[in-house]
Structure 1
Amino acid sequence: MNRIPMLAAGHAAVDLYQGAVPALVPFLVAERGYGYVAVSGVVLAATLLSSIVQPVFGMLTDRWRMPWLIPVSMVVAGAGVAAGGVTDSYVLTWLAVALSGLGVAAYHPESARLARIASEGSHVRMSWFSLGGTLGFASAPVLVTPLLAVWGLGASPLLVVPAVLGALVTLPAVRAAAGSGQGVRAAAPVTGRDDWPSFTRLTLVIVFRSVVYVGLSAFVALYMGGGAAGAVALFVLFAGGAAGTVLGGRLAVRWGRVRTMRLAYAAAIPAVAGVVLAPGSFAYVFIAASSIALYAPFSLHVTLGQDFLPRRVGTAGGVTLGLAVSVGGLASPVVGAIAEAATLRTALACLIVFAVLAWLLSRTIEEPGREGTSAGW
């Protein structure tokens, strides 16, 4: 049984809730009067707990098979966002969104382990699994914005439905994995050493990338004016990521993972600059270009990380697919503070620096087993 489509559908369901948090921001501003720092704190809630506990879930899945964690974590992620819209205080909203982040954290390491088994080493198949998550991001503003625009934040409990549906769709793959007798040690090679220096550099690249992408996702809707224009901006950002994910897997087959990653981050620099500098609706073009460039290496990060840590694929998957992605949210309050102290344009301009850092550090990374060779760019 090909489990990749089911795992991709589950990935879409859980990552929808990462995209739902930025989509909630304009409504929290409009209905509750939250400022930039307050809403960036909500974005932080979705990532802080996830960033702290994700390595723990990675280490646990390196020791024990936990396929049951996949559907359970989906429901937790959905329940947190559903509750966040109906709580009557900022603290309760923060805690509810943090609970959603916990669900996201629990999902990624085990799902990445199962996807590694199901993909059988194919970059293209792994990109389809990653695409599921990106489509979840992309669908969030399409689902959240019309729902809340009509019925307000009080309708947020309906947002738990995709989590329940995703858990049901994923159950056959989870049951197949549970009955296959394939544990994490069957998925990880018994030979080969863990290359922690290379993995650390890769993690820093992903962190820099995360700062850029999370910063854009948190504030681009407000930057473009909120309302329908903001929803379009979020959709373009997330849909561009879907295109970039598939493109990255195919380019990796032709050019190699590291060269594709370097080229993508080189392209991200002028793309992010264009978001800040382009006038009016031309900014949408650069929002799409930024997303494509930032997401082209997304699935490649996962397979590179697992190859750098062949004995700890759960930890590698948790960090590359979850922790290093979500940790960018830790910078969101700083971006919000800069926006309040200066302008939102100035705050977004700061993200260009992190795109440059991601590209520069990617140039220090080589393909696993091909150290000393140059991949170009």
Structure 2
Amino acid sequence: MADKSLKLAKPAPTPAADRGAGQETVYRILLAISFVHLFNDSIQAVIPAIFPILKENLLLTFTQIGWISFAINFTSSIIQPVIGYAADRKPRPILLPLGMCCTLAGVGILAYAGSYILVLFAVILIGLGSATFHPEGMRVAHMAAGMRKGLSQSIFQVGGNAGQSLAPLLTRFIFVPLGQSGAVYFTFIAAAGVAVQSYVARWYRSMLDAGYTFTKRAKGRLLDPARRRSIRHATLVLVLLVFVRSWYGAAISSYYAFYLMDAYRIGLDDAQIYIFLFLAAGAVGTFFGGPLADRFGRRNLIMLSMVGTAPIALLLPYVSLFWAGVLLTIGGFILLSSFSVTVVYAQMLHPGNIGTVSGLITGFAFGMGGVGALALGNLGDAWGIGNVMIAASFLPLLGLFSFLLPKDRVIEQWSKV
């Protein structure tokens, strides 16, 4: 009797589980996790935004700046698949608020760090918080999606891309006037993230207690070696496409401002506006990409995103300042329209490993994009930034590899076996 009364005391999880399993989309959870994604990525954007301030305050070398960049990229991106793999084996909703607690501590330390070692420690904490959030956040988005997987990932991912797009504005309006201590204001954002994550974690736990599982169809797929090879090849192509998208995105967000300053003789403040146009348009593209993919096909949207960006990228180094703003806006929208769709496509390829594959696509692949930014920086020193931007404009042509991806109906059949 005691056991039965305990079960009757928790009537809510069962309908919630049904909704998350496919009947309805739980928008309140999707919006909550999207807002936290915005909080998380806007805080992470603080790191590159504050580089000039840190260099001046602590008399850092470019090598030390590079190690700070490596620390945030490694901890926030490269280890995401590891955390995702662990979460697939044993989901832990408590990681959501704990991750934001790490971020809260890191940004507080960063605001008043008076030494290089403290800065490194702070960015590692922020990176760990981000690495913890992303795989579990995408699992929550998948759980709350119902039948609208593309829309749910778009809602989740648009928060992160919107947060990243704030970096140029953070530089212009916060860190230039306030300096390093301006980072302290982000502790309030992190604290709000902890509160929202606690709410999401309670819903997540109720779904697990109600019997929700991510691994219903995973076992049968392992019995067919030919299909396993096809899935592996499709995954490699998908990761390659994300690499290309990340490298080109890094070229624009990290170096195009220098190109504008050199080629058009404009100031840093004005150059940041053009980078904001690219990133903000990308956030809008991220939101609309999911619903468009649900309607017209995920593979089709990925192909259009990659191939459609190529002519814009090739024209960009040669146009006037006005048309550069226009092309950056259009190109950002098209390029990042596939941001959430690649995650959903990967989840369809690996339905029993949502956390692992989500961490792979948005973590490891984008971490490699950071490595690409480092490589492009070295080339900029050797060739000049103008030649680097011209060379980077050819990167989207590699999007032609998207034609090697299996069609949607094929991977849907694979996931049902």
TM-score between the two structures when normalised by the length of structure 2 = 0.80
Deviations 1:52-71 (A, max 9, x none): 32121011110111122122
1:101 shift after superposition: 2.2
Change (3 A) 1:83 1:280: farther
Is 1:327 equivalent to 2:348 in the alignment? no
Does the Cα contact within 8 Å between 1:36 and 1:336 map onto a contact in 2? no
Q: Out of 310, 335, 344, which is 2:385 matched to?
A: 344
User: How many Å separate the matches in 2 of 1:113 and 1:183?
Assistant: 16
Structure 2 residue runs of 5 or longer lacking an equivalent are 1-25, 222-227, 262-266
Q: Which residue of 1 aligns with 2:331?
A: 290
Local SS of the residue matching 2:404: coil
Q: Out of 289, 304, 324, which is 1:263 matched to?
A: 304
Structure 1 residue runs of 5 or longer lacking an equivalent are none
Change (3 A) 1:30 1:11: same
Letter in 2 for 1:19: A
1:272 shift after superposition: 2.6
Deviations 1:91-143 (A, max 9, x none): 55345334322221111111111110101131122211111111111234334
Size of the alignment, in residue pairs? Answer: 372
Q: Which residue of 2 aligns with 1:131?
A: 158
Is 1:227 equivalent to 2:253 in the alignment? no
Is 1:361 equivalent to 2:401 in the alignment? yes
User: How many Å separate the matches in 2 of 1:216 and 1:94?
Assistant: 26
Local SS of the residue matching 2:410: coil
Change (3 A) 1:86 1:335: farther
Letter in 2 for 1:222: F
Is 1:161 equivalent to 2:225 in the alignment? no
Q: Which residue of 1 aligns with 2:3?
A: none
Local SS of the residue matching 2:168: helix
Is 1:370 equivalent to 2:406 in the alignment? no
Deviations 1:180-236 (A, max 9, x none): 225997123335526222122211211221111123222233333453213312321
Does the Cα contact within 8 Å between 1:44 and 1:332 map onto a contact in 2? no
Q: Which residue of 1 aligns with 2:16?
A: none
Query: Is 78-87 or 3-12 further displaced after alignment?
Result: 78-87
TM-score between the two structures when normalised by the length of structure 1 = 0.88
User: How many Å separate the matches in 1 of 2:236 and 2:352?
Assistant: 15
Q: Out of 57, 82, 103, which is 2:83 matched to?
A: 57
Does the Cα contact within 8 Å between 2:313 and 2:394 map onto a contact in 1? no
Is 1:97 equivalent to 2:123 in the alignment? yes
Q: Which residue of 2 aligns with 1:24?
A: 50
Does the Cα contact within 8 Å between 1:23 and 1:141 map onto a contact in 2? yes
Query: Is 57-66 or 168-177 further displaced after alignment?
Result: 168-177
User: How many Å separate the matches in 1 of 2:210 and 2:114?
Assistant: 44
1:244 shift after superposition: 0.7
User: How many Å separate the matches in 2 of 1:184 and 1:296?
Assistant: 34
Local SS of the residue matching 1:187: coil
Query: Is 126-135 or 177-186 further displaced after alignment?
Result: 177-186
1:331 shift after superposition: 1.7
User: How many Å separate the matches in 1 of 2:282 and 2:359?
Assistant: 20
Change (3 A) 1:29 1:158: same
Change (3 A) 1:183 1:369: farther
Deviations 1:268-294 (A, max 9, x none): 222233443223343222222232122
Q: Which residue of 2 aligns with 1:48?
A: 74
Q: Which residue of 1 aligns with 2:95?
A: 69
Q: Which residue of 1 aligns with 2:40?
A: 14
User: How many Å separate the matches in 2 of 1:62 and 1:115?
Assistant: 14
Query: Is 223-232 or 143-152 further displaced after alignment?
Result: 223-232
Q: Out of 96, 113, 134, which is 1:108 matched to?
A: 134
User: How many Å separate the matches in 2 of 1:82 and 1:331?
Assistant: 29
Is 1:245 equivalent to 2:286 in the alignment? yes
Q: Out of 253, 256, 266, which is 1:217 matched to?
A: 253
Deviations 1:62-97 (A, max 9, x none): 011112212222332354355446434555534533
